[in-house]
Amino acid sequence: MKKLELPKLPYSYDALEPVISEEIMRLHHDKHHQGYVNKANAALEKLEKFRREGLDIDVRATLRDLSFNLNGHILHSIFWPNMEPPTEDNTPGGVVADKIDEFFGGFESFKKEFSMASKSVEGVGWGLLVWDSSNEQLLVVQVEKHNLAHISNSSVLLALDVWEHAYYLQYKNERGKYVDNWWKVVNWDDVDKRLSKLL
C-alpha cells in the first residue's frame, strides 16, 4: 500500500501574518491536516487487510472514512500552495485572469460570488474555484465538510478552507472577515499554473 504523506508548507508558519496567524497555521497544518493523512492511511490499511487477509470490516463505514479523510488531505494539499505572503491589491494575471473575465464578467464579480459561496457554507466546508472539463468552464463550488461529490469531472484550482479550525482562533465567529482578508494571500501564479496545465 502506498502511504499518504503530509506535504511541507511552501513558506514559514508565520508567512501569512497578519491575515492568518502562525498559531493557526501550526495547528491547522501539523494537527488537522496530519490527522486527515493518518486517518486516510488507516482506512487504506484496513481495506488492504480486508482484500489480502480477509479481515472482517465494515466496508461502508471504511469507504466513508476514506472519502472524508482523503478528500480532506487533497483539499488541504491544494489550499497551502494556493497562498503566499499578503499583498494589498492582489489580483490574478495570466490565463486565469482571462478565463475569470470570460466566465464571471470580471475579477470583482468572481470575487463576490466566491466570497458569498464561502461565507454561506452551512457548518464547515470549502469554497472552490474549479475547471469543469466536461463543459470547459470555470465554476464556483460550495463544499460541505470535504465532500467533493458535486461535479465529478472538475479539477480544483483554488480552495478556501472555511472550517472553524482555519480561522476561529484569530477571527472567532467572524468568518466573513476572514474570507475578505484571505484575498490578500491568494497565490494567483499557483492558480494560473493549475489552470494552464488543463487547457
C-alpha distances out from residue 104 to 30, 113, 139, 185, Å: 36, 9, 9, 21
How many binding residues for Fe ion (CB under 5 A)?
2
125 strand-pairing partners? 144
Q: How far is the CB of 76 from Fe ion (least distance, A)?
A: 6
Q: In the complex with Fe ion, which residue's Cβ is closer, 164 or 189?
A: 164
Q: In the complex with Fe ion, which residue's Cβ is closer, 161 or 190?
A: 161
- Burial environment of residue 28 by CB neighbours within 10 A (0 to 12, 13 to 18, 19 or more): buried
Query: Under the criterion CB under 5 A, does residue 146 sit at the interface with Fe ion?
Result: no
Query: Under the criterion CB under 5 A, does residue 161 sit at the interface with Fe ion?
Result: yes
Query: Under the criterion CB under 5 A, does residue 110 sit at the interface with Fe ion?
Result: no
By CB under 5 A, the residues from 51 to 80 that bind Fe ion are none
Q: How far is the CB of 36 from Fe ion (least distance, A)?
A: 8
Of the candidate spans 9-17, 84-92, 116-124, 162-170, the one that interacts with Fe ion by CB under 5 A turns out to be 162-170
Q: Is the Cβ–Cβ distance between 154 and 141 less than 8 Å?
A: yes
81 strand-pairing partners? none
Instruction: Give yes or no for a cis peptide into 7 (omega within 30° of 0).
Output: no
Binding positions for Fe ion, rule: CB under 5 A: 161, 163
